[in-house]
Chains A and B, each alone.
Chain A
Amino acid sequence: MMDRAGRLPLLGILLLITMLIAAGCGGNNKAGNGNAEPSNAPSAEPGNDAEAGSDTVLSQITERDKLIAGVKFDTKLFGLKDPGSGNVEGFDIDIAKAIAKKLLGDETKLELKEVTSKTRMPMLNNGEIDLIVATMTVTDERKKEVDFSEIYFNAGQSLLVKKGSAIRGLDDVTKDTKVVGVKGATSIKNIEDKVEGLRVQQFENYQEAFNALKAGQGDVLTTDNAILYGMTKQDSNYEVVGGTFTDEPYGIAIKKGQADLVTAVNEVIAELKSSGEYDRIYEKWIGEKPETKQ
């Protein structure tokens, strides 16, 4: 009996160590398997892929004759899946179509994969998607991980409240205000920096954040104005207040070391703008003409 009691903790410790090692290995394997190519792990030496010549993302796109774009499926105006038809539609989708048309000559040679603010960068870096067109703000921090195209949309952070709310702008937000947002979004850091002591309740995606707001779990939902305008179209009991308090330019994200693809995408954006097609897409989704042309 004494013997058995003595062995027990030792057994436990052994088990614990085994599990911890297993956990570490599990992490490694996951990253390795997620990488479509047999090459290196995602973030290590991105130059390798490009140097391999036929292994660039652009050549992969041409070979499979299809562009795989990561887009939002839950964001009104930019990328929203119509539950009836199953089609994904929006501003970002039209931009992705234009890129597919330029690269492959046909806008239908496009596969749309759903991404969230949380999943898009890992998915891009392990090769599941060729590029991200998903309301993604260009930041210096993100530039360390991925490359960005020229700006294709100028957004700014704003506040969504229930009509009649006492909150009319950022000045009315205090540290005790219940603010909701989305995990992984730049807007969380922005507002937490501007309002001292504020803690944002963060949700998986915009639909869930909006659900929480509608259920009264929050007083304010904050993110880019364009997304908020989409929500007001979904439910007219809510309004955008206080104007924008940040500058959040959207760019198309591409894996590091893929200069040829970045150039091609930039050409598409320039052509859209010069041909007037950009204004048409803008008005179609946002409901007004873009303020300034670049």
Chain B
Amino acid sequence: MISPDILTDNWDLYLEGIRNTLSASLLALAGSFILGVIVAIMRITSFRLLNILGAVYVEFFRNIPLLLVVYIFFLGLPALGLTLNGFISGTLGLMVYTSAYIAEAVRAGIQSVPIGQTEAARSSGLTYTQTMRHVVLPQAVKIVIPPITNQFLNLVKNSSILSVVSGFDLMYFGDIVNSYTYDTVSSYAFVAVFYLILTIPLSIASNALERRLLRSG
């Protein structure tokens, strides 16, 4: 049913796909984390304008399909004079889309620490920054880690969106191998295996991290 020839004959294509999927995922992962934290901070500060901007950002990117977000970069930006290739458009789309979810996870984590703790810390003489650093954030991190690692797993899988804008990722080459060999099942079975090889270590690492945080608490 699944013929190994498909893998050996098209190894170069699969390998290039894995490399691109991996780099798109890592770039989007780092970018979405930084962006997500910034937006989360925007949403919880006491500046009303920043609150609104943060909320608009989250609701916009969280509530349209990822495909459309990628199209904004791939097909929309050229109309404004900025042409980014499929790989960059796809990675940026992925980053922005995921950052909206991360922002929500971070915001929810910070706000889940009871307000009484902040009040107690402030009244015992700690500044706002000290309160955040020593009281709120250590507790928030533990709450935030599981949903964020979840988002990272989703991000790796969602990176297959690059295939639609010719981003030369793993899924793209899966399509290409399929179109050359006509062996649909084998072509995509190997794609699935490669995605698993990328995501399972991430799963294991995030479980280990969660357990460690639980123990240290």
CB <8 Å contact, B193 and A31: no
B141 on the A face (CB < 8 A):
no
CB <8 Å contact, B85 and A217: yes
Secondary structure class of chain A's binding surface, majority of residues: helix
Q: How many interface residues does chain B have, given as a range?
A: 20 to 34
Q: Mark A15-35, 1 if CB is under 8 A from B, else 0.
A: 110011001101110110000
Q: Would A215 and B179 be within 8 Å (CB), given that A31-B185, A201-B86 are in contact?
A: no
A122 on the B face (CB < 8 A):
yes
CB <8 Å contact, B185 and A20: no
A180 on the B face (CB < 8 A):
yes
Q: Mark B1-32, 1 if CB is under 8 A from A, else 0.
A: 11000000000000000000000000000000
CB <8 Å contact, B185 and A27: yes
Considering the chains assembled together, what is the distance between the CA atoms of A212 and B165 in angstroms? 8
In the complex formed, the residue of B with least CB distance to A23 is: B192
CB <8 Å contact, B200 and A16: yes
Considering the chains assembled together, what is the distance between the CA atoms of A204 and B176 in angstroms? 11
CB <8 Å contact, A122 and B196: no
Q: Mark A60-80, 1 if CB is under 8 A from B, else 0.
A: 000000000000000000000
**B residues within 8 A CB of A2?**
none
CB <8 Å contact, B188 and A27: yes
CB <8 Å contact, B196 and A28: no
B130 on the A face (CB < 8 A):
no
CB <8 Å contact, A122 and B193: no
B158 on the A face (CB < 8 A):
no
Min CB distance B143 to A, Å, is 23
Q: How many interface residues does chain A have, given as a range?
A: 35 or more
A290 on the B face (CB < 8 A):
no
B204 on the A face (CB < 8 A):
yes
CB <8 Å contact, B164 and A204: yes
Considering the chains assembled together, what is the distance between the CA atoms of A19 and B178 in angstroms? 22
Within the complex, which residue of A12, A23, A118, A121 is in contact with B193, where a contact is CB–CB below 8 Å? A23
CB <8 Å contact, A183 and B175: yes
CB <8 Å contact, B78 and A216: yes
Within the complex, which residue of B1, B164, B179, B204 is in contact with A28, where a contact is CB–CB below 8 Å? B1
**A residues within 8 A CB of B1?**
24, 27-28, 31, 41
CB <8 Å contact, A24 and B189: yes
A-B contact pairs, 25 of them (CB 8 A): A8-B208, A11-B204, A15-B204, A16-B200, A24-B1, A24-B2, A26-B192, A27-B1, A27-B2, A27-B188, A28-B1, A31-B185, A121-B182, A122-B184, A180-B166, A183-B175, A202-B166, A203-B164, A215-B75, A216-B78, A217-B75, A217-B78, A217-B83, A217-B85, A217-B86
